[in-house]
Amino acid sequence: MRGTNIVNLYIIEDKEYKYTELSGKQITYINSIADKSKYNNFRNTILEHEGDNVECIIKIKFPDQKLTAFDEFGVQLIY
């Protein structure tokens, strides 16, 4: 499946969380302000350039929703 090796990390108050580590309050907060189009466009650009099986981490910093991606070696992907 396309993009199954992509892991999202959510950065809230300078602390990183996987989705499963977020509290209900944090999930509500993220969902209330998330720009899903911005994320989808960023993710699709990575998949387009790196391929469907890319292994990477997308870090999403809230509240500004700054998106950065890193490959499996920790090298930042620039798009």
pLDDT tens, 64-73?
Answer: 999 999 999 9
Q: How far apart are CA 4 and CA 30, in angstroms?
A: 21
Tell me, what amino acid is at 58? I
Q: Determine, yes or no, domain membership for 13.
A: yes
How many helices, marked H, and strands, marked E, lie in the chain?
A: 2, 5
Contact criterion met (CB below 8 Å) for 26 and 66? no
Q: Tokens 């798009």 appear where?
A: 79
CA atoms within 13 A on the CB side of 25: 1
pLDDT digits (tens, 9 = 90+) for 16-65: 999 999 999 999 999 999 999 999 999 999 999 999 999 999 999 999 99
Phi-psi region of 28 (alpha: psi -120 to 50; beta: other; left: phi over 0): alpha
pTM of the predicted structure, to 2 decimals: 0.93
User: What's the number of domains the chain is made of?
Assistant: 1
Q: Determine, yes or no, domain membership for 1.
A: no
Parent domain of 60: 6-77
